[in-house]
Amino acid sequence: MAENLILEKLEGVKQRFDEVSKLVNEPDVMSDMKRYVALNKEFKELEPLIKTYEEYKNVLSNIDDAKAILKNESDEEMKEMAKEELESLTESLPKMEEDIKIMLLPKDPEDEKNAIFEIRGGTGGDEAAIFAGDLYRMYCKYFEKRHWKVEVTRFTEGTMGGYKEIVLTVSSNTEGVYGIMKYESGVHRVQRVPATETQGRIHTSAASVVVLPEAGEFDVDLKESDVRKDTYCSSGPGGQSVNTTYSAIRLTHIPTGLVVTCQDEKSQIKNLEKAMKELRSRLYAIEYQKYLDKVGSQRKTMVSTGDRSAKIRTYNYPQSRVTDHRINLTLYNLPIVMDGEIDEIIEKLQIAENAERLKASGL
């Protein structure tokens, strides 16, 4: 990518940044909360690019200055200093340009959102539920390391341990949870000798993971008249309030038939708040899926963009092996991965996706 093309694209970004900076202060925009929120978000997203744009222009200017000194200066000491600076700047330029190319790629509009995280035991009966519990523990360790907040919305325990289903909301004030965790959507397969196996045979079981962007207040026009609310007694852990108060919530979205439940909190109000948040996100996901289907047909790394039933990863206990099938990545450190150390896998998926996107964009 030629320097002038990079500058051309960055100058276009600068023009948009200046435009957005003016718009957010206009009275008619400030009175339209939905538009104001969207423009503020765009402003924050463009800020890092503008900073990089200024740094890039400065490097190019310093390169031109160093070249001019080498061409016109007679003082040998000055020429030697200019030569050293030119070598240093020229060496740093390719890395800077590669970073800019990635920054210029269009972002998934949902990357900065929090996430609704759903883990379900699949084929394999009791062992699948146990494995779903292992995945839940793995992710919770990872979330804890990143200081993310985790709230369980609902769960159904397996008869031998683990979970038949567990749904949680994962949030952060500083990072886009969905943009990091979206790569985890798909079928996770485990190969091991189950605790329920008496003859030592290796079984294959599976659990599915679905990661959805959490919808904001202005992302979905959710009419109160379209939602039927039912209350019922909660079941499972919860102390004295269980089966004595109608704190559990079931919401039914009448136009689509979507049903969401929450019984995690003892307070009906808090359960309603969580259930509404999940319902809003699931309705939003219906529209968002159209975007996912479009890019999913173009990129293999984001299985979440297409078929969420596709097998993405295998955890092989006898060989202590983890294999991500999308990028043919194999690691022999299964105990560490199951303890929440999944950064390497996610980073390599991000690198592979960025490479695909750069190739497709022609940058």
Q: State whether 182 and 305 are in the same domain.
A: yes
pLDDT in tens, 269-303: 888 888 888 888 888 777 666 656 655 555 554 44
Q: State whether 70 and 152 are in the same domain.
A: no
Residue 110 falls inside a structural domain: no
Q: State whether 352 and 337 are in the same domain.
A: yes
pLDDT of residue 79: 87
pLDDT of residue 303: 41
The domain spanning residue 344 has which CATH number?
3.30.70.1660
pLDDT of residue 238: 44
Question: Apex CA 182: angle with CA 180 and CA 188, to 5°?
Answer: 115
Model-level pTM? Answer: 0.69
Write out the residue range of the structural domain in which residue 11 sits.
3-104
Which segments in the chain show pLDDT lower than 70?
A: 1-3, 196, 198, 216-219, 234-245, 287-309, 361-363
Q: State whether 340 and 199 are in the same domain.
A: yes
Number of domains observed in the structure of the chain: 3
Last residue in a domain, options 289, 320, 342: 289
pLDDT of residue 72: 84
Q: State whether 160 and 193 are in the same domain.
A: yes
Residue 157 falls inside a structural domain: yes
Q: State whether 237 and 208 are in the same domain.
A: no
pLDDT of residue 34: 81
Q: State whether 184 and 235 are in the same domain.
A: no
The domain spanning residue 272 has which CATH number?
3.30.160.20
Q: State whether 75 and 156 are in the same domain.
A: no
